[in-house]
Amino acid sequence: MSNLAKRVLTAVVAIPVILVICNAGGIYFFAFVAIASAVALYEFYRLTKAKGAQPLVALGILSGFFVNLSFYRSRILSHLDSLLGDSAIPFPSQAQFLLITLLVSVFAMGLVELFRNKGSAILNLSTTIFGVLYISLFFGTFIGIRELFTPMDFPMLQYNQTSVEEVYQWGGYTVISVLAVIWICDTAAFHVGKAWGKHKLFPRVSPNKSWEGAVFGFLFAVTSAVAAKYAVLGYMPLGSAVVIGIIVGVVGQLGDLVESLIKRDANVKDSSSLIPGHGGAFDRFDSLLLVSPLVYLYLDFVLFA
């Protein structure tokens, strides 16, 4: 079976499942992102071993899980409130939970490495901590985007004619739209670059990418984000849809290049062979890793401010 056939078959099977999970939200979406984040982090740690690092794999993945969990905090608190009633227990805010997780993680990593005596301590700690920040933290913001559309975080008064159910459905449509715009951008950049690409974009990192492909990827990203606004994102102004498209069209392609840089340094083509025709989780979500934090910050601190 050709690589293209594998890619298409995998997409036919995986895309409906991902759409259902994104739309369902809640624990299902959290579990999906947390698992994808853990797998991508494991793949990253494998790549660092090719450069002589000996990262703290188990501790890094555990830390990454709690980083992801910090973005699901509001949903956990709502469940606890329903169980405990008036006997409220003070819980840390999302920012406090995240900060505590990072502080404890770095402290624990330093202590473990102190008694480990395995290779370069600087290299081990640096790759372990960078992986948690670059993959787990950035992936966690995708959970944060989905959870922005809950009554505890969404500015319901700005949309006072909208039901809670409709708002939460907007959250599903939003994360689906982000994934779709990234996919459309990547596809347009690949096919246009392959057919008409003459000017190399970044040959030191990715020799096959071209400026022609990047420009068309950007245009398709903005166009598809605007289309998503009119199709399913009723809450989003046109200007915000353009901003999301620009983020994907520029930063998403940079995310692809950053991952290519890491793989080229490790002298591998794919982060793993987990997904037939697509490589690993790190390969599949490389653009999302840089897009998601910016979309999350834009929605939370600009659009919903």
Mean pLDDT, the chain, integer = 92
Measured distance CA(158)–CA(302) in Å, rounded: 13
- pTM for the full model? 0.93
Q: Output the pLDDT for position 153.
A: 79
**pLDDT(103) > 90:** yes
- The H or E element spanning position 209 is strand 206-210
Neighbours of 224 (CB within 10 A): 24
User: 141-178, pLDDT tens digit by residue?
Assistant: 999 999 999 877 788 888 877 888 999 999 999 999 99
User: 206-253, pLDDT tens digit by residue?
Assistant: 999 999 999 999 999 999 999 999 999 999 999 999 999 999 999 999
For the chain, helix (H) and strand (E) counts, in that order, are 13, 2
Q: Output the pLDDT for position 89.
A: 59
Question: What residue segments make up the domains of the chain, in order of their start?
Answer: 3-303
Average of per-residue pLDDT across 272-281: 86
Average of per-residue pLDDT across 62-84: 78
Q: Output the pLDDT for position 90.
A: 67
